[in-house]
Amino acid sequence: MRVLGVDPGLTRCGVGVVEGVAGRPLTMVGVGVVRTPPDAELGHRLVAVEQGIEQWLDEHRPEFVAVERVFSQHNVQTVMGTAQASAVAMLCAARRGIPVALHTPSEVKAAVTGSGRADKAQVGAMVTRLLRLSAPPKPADAADALALAICHIWRAPAQNRLQQAVALHAANATKGRTA
Amino acid sequence: MRVLGVDPGLTRCGVGVVEGVAGRPLTMVGVGVVRTPPDAELGHRLVAVEQGIEQWLDEHRPEFVAVERVFSQHNVQTVMGTAQASAVAMLCAARRGIPVALHTPSEVKAAVTGSGRADKAQVGAMVTRLLRLSAPPKPADAADALALAICHIWRAPAQNRLQQAVALHAANATKGRTA
């Protein structure tokens, strides 16, 4: 199972691709950050996020996309940007027929650290360990994107198997290759 | 000046095209609602909004797109959907190089009724009168989209003239026609 995790944001949108199945060691396929200039017009920033996500989808052909579920109890301005960036990520995936899953920050933290209230350093440390990296991915948005992908692989219940088979079949039919 | 107003929403996204300049009678070019099924997956709903907005841009070739600015003081779930739908509308416009403007609900109400606290019926009545329609557009989202377009035409300051000339030039260069 190859999953693209997206930690949505307009200034920094974390992206990370992880491959593997629950119960087996996982592999990091790629990690990075899609950045857009804070002083650019909102419309142009959204276009830049779209182009960045499209590149990651083109290059890594994930079978699933896991996006952080946005809540609005935080800073108003940040939340709007996060919601808008997450909309673009979901749109890009859905347009290709890739199943999109949303996971809350606490679900992600609980999945990789055992605690839904773990801090960023703890998440970074566990991502580093679980993916057998030499150092924690920087910035935190990149590590969070990997954590989202790991969370999705581990949380994927048995009933996802059918959905996965359908997605794989569609990917093969469209692209003539398996990721 | 031809403006597409967008009252963003996932269930009902109001769209209205108005043509004219400040100080002269305005003309309604088209009005409608892009709907997506509430029980569909979020990613698919965003794709449906994108397809709907694209159709309106293709058909009416607006020089400007005016989108309602989303605030997060309202119902959390609704605001997220509104922010996501508005992101898709802004993305579609920016991708084509069409300038996007955001107007707050009170700016729109003040523009068309003289009061920033006017109710929906008052906005509908003024939109009907200003565009010389036989009846208020239904649903309210459609009327709000027209009000947004009117607001944009009336608020467009002199310094927008350059931006408009650039947009017209780009539209002519791309499409070989003027809307």
Give the residues of chain B that fall short of pLDDT 70. Answer: 72-77, 157-179
Q: CA B43 from chain center: how many Å?
A: 22
- Give backbone dihedrals phi and psi of B21, rounded to 5 degrees, phi first: -135, 160
Eight-state DSSP code of residue A101: E
Q: Do A72 and B76 touch (CB under 8 A)?
A: yes
pLDDT at res. B79 = 83
Could you tell me if A37 lies within 8 Å of chain B, comparing CB atoms? no
Which residue from A69, A71, A84 is spatially nearest to A36, judged by alpha carbons?
A84
pLDDT at res. B29 = 98
Q: Do B88 and A86 touch (CB under 8 A)?
A: no
What domains can be seen in chain B, in order of their start residue?
A: 2-175 (3.30.420.10)
pLDDT at res. B155 = 87
Which residue from A177, A166, A157, A43 is spatially nearest to A101, judged by alpha carbons?
A157
Q: Burial code of A77-91, b = ≥16 C-beta within 10 A, e = fewer?
A: eebbbbbbbbbbbbb
Q: What is the ipTM of this complex?
A: 0.76
Residues of chain A with C-beta less than 8 angstroms from the C-beta of B47: 91, 94-95
Q: Chunked in runs of 10, what are the mean pLDDT values of chain A (179 residues)? A: 97 97 93 97 97 98 95 71 95 97 94 91 94 94 97 73 60 54
Question: pLDDT by residue (tens digit) across A102-150?
Answer: 999 999 999 999 899 999 999 999 999 999 999 999 999 999 999 999 9
Q: How far is CA B162 from CA B116, B157, B166, B172, in A?
A: 29, 10, 6, 15
Could you tell me if A93 lies within 8 Å of chain B, comparing CB atoms? yes
Q: Is A40 helix (H, G, I), strand (E, B) or coil?
A: coil
Q: Do B102 and A76 touch (CB under 8 A)?
A: no
Say how far apart CA A25 and CA B157 lie, in whole Å: 60
Q: Do A72 and B70 touch (CB under 8 A)?
A: no
Q: How many CB atoms lie within 10 A of CB B30?
A: 15
pLDDT at res. A169 = 66
pLDDT at res. A178 = 43
pLDDT at res. A78 = 75
Q: How far is CA B145 from CA A120, B100, B109, in A?
A: 42, 14, 11
Q: Do A44 and B94 touch (CB under 8 A)?
A: yes
Eight-state DSSP code of residue A74: S
In chain A, at which residue ranges do the beta strands (DSSP E only) sit?
Answer: 2-7, 12-19, 27-35, 64-68, 100-103
Pair B26, B142: CB distance under 8 Å: no
Contact residues, B window 101-160, toward A, CB-based 8 Å cutoff: 102
pLDDT at res. A148 = 98
Q: What angle do CA B10, A149, B44 make, to 5 degrees?
A: 20
- B64: alpha, beta or left? (left if phi > 0; alpha if psi -120 to 50): beta
Tokens linked to B133:
């329609």
Could you tell me if B6 lies within 8 Å of chain A, comparing CB atoms? no
Question: pLDDT by residue (tens digit) across B139-148?
Answer: 999 999 999 9
What positions of B carry a catalytic annotation? 7, 68, 141
Question: pLDDT by residue (tens digit) across B55-80?
Answer: 999 999 999 999 999 876 666 667 88
pLDDT at res. A40 = 96
Pair A17, A2: CB distance under 8 Å: yes
Could you tell me if B42 lies within 8 Å of chain A, comparing CB atoms? yes
Residues of chain B with C-beta less than 8 angstroms from the C-beta of A43: 90-91, 93-94, 100
pLDDT at res. A158 = 40
CB pairs A-B closer than 8 Å: 78
pLDDT at res. A51 = 98
